[in-house]
Amino acid sequence: MTAYDGASAYALPEGRRREILRQAWAVGVATGLYGVSFGALAVAAGLSVWQTQALSLLMFTGGSQFAFIGIIGSGGLAAAPAAVATAAFLGFRNGLYGLQTSRFLAVRRLRRFAAAHLTIDESTAVSVVQLEPAGKRLGFWHTGLAVFLWWNVMTFAGALLGNALGDPRRYGLDAAAAAAFCALLWPRLRSRETVAVAAVALLLATVLAPHVPAGVPVLVAGLAALLALALPGSEP
């Protein structure tokens, strides 16, 4: 594995480079639109516009952000520990992605921190499907930057919109977080095993929700995946 050379990320035929850039920025714009819902829901949960923006800039992992403000919104500050734990649990997958992307990024020093921050579902997905090492690097960086840019722009717009509109439940925005989670989850339900894990997680969360503090059902439901891995014949 050689050290990352910024110029090598662009060592592609011009037509191929344009194709990857179109993929990256199309994914970035489409994903960024979710930021409107996040911004509106975050201010409705009690966060200020600047606190909302800080979450998108610093946390920058959509599923974890929706989980955090969803739990804060339903349980207040008393639910903060559960909100943090749930957000961290959901964000753990990005660390696993890093094990895969580090093989072709080969970054050092400050680029390593930038790559870690931009390692999300979308940047990983676009990069790993490219055949050329240079294409993988190009896809990763541009997808990560595109999502980061549009997600933060739309978060800010959503936070301002949420302040102007008032209670988001009047417009059905309170269901946006659940809808976003379903949109992220649905494409992954491609086998009987994943469907079974999702069903068990749903059952656990539904049974526990009326009886435990906000955020706890999500954490317990996450154990369904760990239990599935522990079963005989399961692959990590």
Averaged pLDDT for residues 161-181: 63
Question: Are residues 155 and 112 located together in one domain of the fold?
Answer: yes
Question: Are residues 113 and 161 located together in one domain of the fold?
Answer: yes
Question: Are residues 159 and 193 located together in one domain of the fold?
Answer: no
Averaged pLDDT for residues 40-59: 89
Band of residue 56 on the pLDDT scale cut at 50, 70, 90: very high
Residue 103 lies in a domain: yes
Residue 104 lies in a domain: yes
Question: Are residues 165 and 226 located together in one domain of the fold?
Answer: no
Domain extent at residue 193: 189-236
Q: Which residues contact 154 (CB under 8 A, 6 or more apart)?
A: 32, 33, 34, 35, 36, 39
User: What pLDDT score was predicted for residue 75?
Assistant: 63
Structurally, how many domains does the chain consist of?
2
Residue 145 lies in a domain: yes
Asked which of 142, 171, 200 is the last residue of a domain, the reply is 171
Averaged pLDDT for residues 34-50: 86
Question: Are residues 167 and 210 located together in one domain of the fold?
Answer: no
The per-residue pLDDT for range 102-152, each reduced to its tens digit, is 888 988 888 899 999 999 888 988 998 888 889 999 999 999 999 999 999
Torsion angle (degrees, nearest 10) of CA 199, 205, 208, 212:
170
Torsion angle (degrees, nearest 10) of CA 122, 194, 184, 76:
-120
Band of residue 180 on the pLDDT scale cut at 50, 70, 90: low
Question: Are residues 11 and 77 located together in one domain of the fold?
Answer: yes
Question: Are residues 106 and 51 located together in one domain of the fold?
Answer: yes
Between the CA of residue 109 and those of 3, 88, 123, 204, what are the distances in Å?
11, 24, 20, 43
Question: Are residues 29 and 69 located together in one domain of the fold?
Answer: yes
